[in-house]
Chain A
Amino acid sequence: MKSIDWARNEVLVFAVIVAFCALAAVSDPNFLSIPTLTDLMRNSIVLGIFAVGAMVVLVSGGIDVSFTAVAAFAMYATTVLLRDLAPDMPWPLAFAIATLIGAVLGSINGVLIAFCGLPTLIVTLGTLSVFRGFLLTFVGTLQISNLPPAMRDFSRWMMVRGTNSDGSFYSLPWAFAALVIIVAATWFILNRTMLGRAIYAIGGAPESARRIGIDVRKTQFFIYVFVGALAGLAGIIHASMARIANPFDLVGLELSVIAAVVLGGARLTGGVGTLTGTLLGVALIVLVRNSLIVIGIPSTWQSVAIGILILVGTGLPAWQAKRAEARET
């Protein structure tokens, strides 16, 4: 087991990404270029932030499908607030408001799950329709394309900008830094704090976690507030980058995000999951969504491809676990 462990999802996903890129490079030499890379990175920002949140929930043994609705709610409500009340608010404050709205919505999930003890899938399915229904009924259904100046300025704020040798432009917005910061912060929480250990512990064995003195309820509550806050932030970044606030956006993405996280090796049963795997999973999903056509597969086959990846990505470890179990008994 000291050599490369092919049963690990991270290794598997990385190999698939390399194979995909090799195939793509063969059929289109322009594929391996800086614009492709910046596109990939740009498209990974929102999906990546979502995925980090979804991974933390999976590690704790739960599942959250409501985060896209939280994101849409926070994003649209903040934009409306800015447009009507404070058009000149600087962007950090606007982002803080969206994050706060996300955290508040997340705390509703947290109360229902941690303190009422309801099943996570059912609660978040319910809050998904409640948040979305509330947003579309009471806040609004119209797209806002004339974003407040602060959000527009944020979207124009580029980290890297340049022209390729063939004259095509490429750029990477500073929004990417948000993903980097969130990944770093989450890594710190998960691996360097007692809270992070507690999250892994309650996912691995809730009863044992309780017996060694972990406050399971508080930890669970924190997780859903954290995920809500991340979703709120991802929502406002999404609207800023798309330069439009569409209340119908984002919802429907939740299963793709969970697919990315699961591909990266997180287990639905809890206790297992890494940030590296999650980011690799996101990269693979983004590649499949954007560049399937480059390796000669029509884009109508996109969901078949993602479905097969999910089955293989989760099936291999599951089957190995099952065989190992059969060998023992």
Chain B
Amino acid sequence: MISRILQSTEGRLAIITLAVFVTMSVLVPDRFLSPANLTSMAFQFPEFAILALAVAVAMLTGGIDLSVVGAANLSAVTAALFMGHFAGEGTGTGILIAAIALSLAVGLVTGLFNGVLVAIFGLPPILATLGTGLIYTGLAIAMTGGSAVMGLPPAVAWVGNGTILGIPVPLVIFAILAAALGWILKHTAFGLKTRMFGANPLAARYAAMDTDRVLLKVYALCGVLSAIAGLIVMSRANSAKADYGSSYLLLAVLIAVLGGVNPYGGYGRIIGVILAVLSMQFLSSGLNLLQVTNFAREMIWGVLLIGVMLLNLVTFRRRS
């Protein structure tokens, strides 16, 4: 039983996550397990966890999406400017819904653009999304002049700070997205094709799969997920800015890899990404309570990433 758990990437990760949780609970018992800390963790992680989901989906195809933060900020800035333009009296619920639709549309367009570059023009995904990431960030800078867009209607705050039945809204959004994505990848033809393409693009094409279509859909999905993350960031910060969450890109890639997604494509499970997110958040909050500086945290993340990769080495080698 134990050896079976240790054999799978997710099993090992579950043990690591549990170990981090227990260690932090022992080191700072009263504060780490306090309801205040647990709630604040639940509000904190969904925004970068959703970005990590997007990166993970792109990685399944053997690609990567480095434009997620740029796309998130561009759609948030668009939504914020839209609301600033039309916001009048009242709480602005109607405006909010329109703005959400608009930002999701922007996310979809950014994702489709990535997809066209990768699928139709054949650009390597790293370069395509590196370039578009700069373009999306640059457009957001050009639209705002580089400053934050403030003065959002009060209804916006609910997305990032409200609760449903006592559960933080961002957590609910993340749970729904993760469950839906897990289901799509496991039970739909699209999910199967995504993994097949990642495992062997040439074989997928020879199997008469419309690979361009799959890639377009994958990157469009990444764009929409980024837009949702952007909305949560906007709501929590009560403003939108072109350079919010710039450290999230590294973090999202790190989480996806930590979660056992094979960066060469073909293998990855949503449960792994969720476990990776949780272990990161436990580690991050715990270190924060231990008053470790942000810089030391960055170092520990890097060590964790390389450590887990070394651990996974045997499994990755066997697969490839």
Contact surface of A with B, Cβ cutoff 8 Å = 63, 112, 116-119, 121-123, 125-130, 132-137, 141, 255, 258-259, 262, 268-269, 298, 300-308, 310-311, 314-315, 318-319, 321-322
Contact = CB atoms under 8 A, between A and B. Distances in A.
A306 B70 CA distance: 14
A125 B253 contact: yes
A148 to B, nearest CB: 25
A133 B124 contact: no
B54 to A, nearest CB: 17
Contact of B309 (A123, A258, A298): A123
Contact of B121 (A116, A117, A306, A318): A318
Interface string B126-147: 1110111111011101100110
B123 interface: yes
A136 B121 contact: no
B314 to A, nearest CB: 11
Contacts of B301: 129, 133
B286 to A, nearest CB: 16
B264 A119 contact: yes
Nearest to A267: B124
B134 A269 contact: no
A315 B124 CA distance: 9
Contacts of B135: 303-304, 307-308, 311
B299 interface: yes
B293 interface: yes
B290 interface: no
A323 to B, nearest CB: 9
A125 B254 contact: yes
B132 A307 contact: yes
A300 B135 CA distance: 11
Given A125-B254, A300-B141, A307-B135, A314 B123 contact: yes
B305 interface: yes
B298 A132 contact: yes
Nearest to A262: B127
B126 A268 contact: yes
14 contacts: A112-B306, A126-B254, A126-B305, A126-B309, A127-B306, A129-B250, A132-B299, A255-B134, A259-B130, A268-B126, A303-B134, A303-B138, A307-B134, A321-B122
B283 interface: no
A132 B295 CA distance: 8
Contacts of B151: none
Contact of A315 (B123, B133, B302): B123
3 closest Cβ pairs, A-B complex: A133-B299, A307-B134, A304-B138
Among B134, B296, B297, B300, the most chain A Cβ lie within 10 Å of the Cβ of B134
Given A127-B302, A130-B299, A311-B132, 10 more contacts: A116-B313, A119-B264, A119-B309, A121-B64, A259-B131, A304-B134, A304-B138, A306-B134, A307-B132, A315-B117
Nearest to B253: A125
A118 to B, nearest CB: 5
A111 B306 CA distance: 12
B85 interface: no
B38 interface: no
Interface string B304-320: 01100110010001000
Contacts of A314: 123-124, 127-128, 131
Given A130-B299, A304-B138, A258 B254 contact: no
B302 A311 contact: no
A268 B125 CA distance: 10
Contact of A118 (B133, B303, B309): B309
A137 B296 contact: yes
B134 A118 contact: no
Nearest to B67: A307
Contacts of A311: 117, 123, 127-128, 131-132, 135
A112 B301 CA distance: 16
Contacts of A128: 250, 302
Interface string B253-276: 110010000011000000000000
Contact of A300 (B131, B145, B250, B298): B145
B136 to A, nearest CB: 8
Contacts of B146: 300
A142 B209 CA distance: 56
Contact of A121 (B117, B126, B128, B145): B126
A63 B126 contact: yes
Interface in B85-126: 117, 121-124, 126
Nearest to B317: A117
B309 A122 contact: yes
B302 A133 contact: yes
Contacts of B310: 112, 116, 118
A133 B297 contact: yes
Contacts of B123: 311, 314-315, 318
Interface string B160-177: 000000000000000000
Contact of A137 (B128, B253, B293): B293
Nearest to B66: A255
A267 to B, nearest CB: 8
Contacts of B117: 311, 315
A20 to B, nearest CB: 18
B137 A303 contact: yes
A324 B314 CA distance: 38
Given A303-B134, A304-B142, A269 B306 contact: no
